Amino acid sequence: MTIATPDIARLAASPDEVLARLFTSMNVDGVYGRTGAYEDVVDGLGRYIGTLRPKGAEVFRFPPVVSRALIEKSGYLKSFPHLLGCVCALGADPKRVTDAVARYEAGGTWADSAEPSELVLAPAACYPIYPIAAKRGAISDTLLFDVASDCFRREPSKDIDRLQSFRMREFVAIGAPVEISVFRDQWMARAPEIAGDLGLNHSIDAASDPFFGREGQMVGRFQVANALKFEMLIPVRSPESATACMSFNCHKDHFGLTWGMNTVDGEPAHTACVAFGVDRLAVALFARHGVEVGGWPKAVRGKLGV
């Protein structure tokens, strides 16, 4: 179900131009060094998103790694095992280390000797917040959080809008079903305001997450049928093909049941998150307004403070 249709507008910079001017190759698909000009816009987006922060939201910034146990318990392996990255290391065992390095120096590989650690790379910014919130006891008023982290998803691609390593900021709400559903819907209703502030054409569409396998496709259809996920789509690579730059997600009682989070009436808490794909928004801004920030509309520069 499409709620709004983008008016197709000219993009001022091609993907190749954005890539050449704002990123620098690190010889891995979807992993880039970023220029100062690009990071200034990322910082500007950070400030702008800060102005939207729900009143009373508590701020947490998480590292790019989270415990494997947390991601396992969250059900990630059932849903997105193909996207997950695990931190492996040689560790401190002298024999293992010496053998592995010797093998590498003889022209072989060292990595086979590395063992999975207790860490995985964060696939989204919001996972760590649920166990933190669960420790607070029964929820009377909706809990609100502003969280962010570098995220990793194993999706190598040459497209500038599909990175393996990217930044995500999220507003998360935890509470009673009605409040959570209202939270998600109110944020979706603000999408035109956000896109307008940034001078970006947008549409909102129902979406599903890229669940793994056949069974996963069914879960995806359930997600669409139950209107659990919507995305704000913005043209990035061409005026016709739009990219999801924000998502509006309702998880129902999934995290409430997983972490034993209840409302004061004893029912499992519901959760929702509104995710800003910070790198996709930055790339969308450069694609739409050009690679020179000096040439961007004054109003957009004002909103970002760039």
| Residue window 111-130: x/- pattern of binding to Zn ion, with contact defined by CB under 5 A | -------------x-x----
Judged by beta carbon, residue 124 or residue 191, the one nearer Zn ion is 124
Contact partners, residue 9, CB within 8 Å, separation at least 6:
201, 235, 239, 288
Q: Judged by CB under 5 A, which of 134, 273, 282, 304 binds Zn ion? A: 273
Q: For residues 173 and 286, is the Cβ–Cβ distance under 8 A?
A: no
**Nearest residue to 184 via CA among 161, 193, 175, 160:** 175
Contacts 24+ apart (CB under 8 A), 71-75: 71/120, 71/123, 71/127, 73/258, 73/259, 74/127, 74/130, 74/255, 74/258, 75/254, 75/258
The entry of ligand 5GP, Zn ion, none near residue 162 (CB within 5 to 8 angstroms by kind) is ligand 5GP
Q: Restricting to residues 218-247, which ones interact with ligand 5GP according to CB under 6 A?
A: 231, 244-247
Q: Judged by CB under 6 A, which of 11, 230, 237, 279 binds ligand 5GP? A: 279
- Which region, judged by CB under 6 A, interacts with ligand 5GP, from 46-54, 96-104, 174-182, 271-279? 271-279
If one asks whether residue 147 binds ligand 5GP (CB under 6 A), the answer comes out as no
Judged by beta carbon, residue 57 or residue 90, the one nearer Zn ion is 57
Residue that is written with structure tokens 């497209």 in the block? 159
According to DSSP, the residues that pair with 268 across neighbouring strands are 262
If one asks whether residue 155 binds ligand 5GP (CB under 6 A), the answer comes out as yes
Residues within the interface to Zn ion (CB under 5 A): 124, 126, 170, 273
Residues that bind ligand 5GP (CB under 6 A): 124, 153, 155, 161-163, 166, 168, 209, 231, 244-247, 275, 277, 279-280
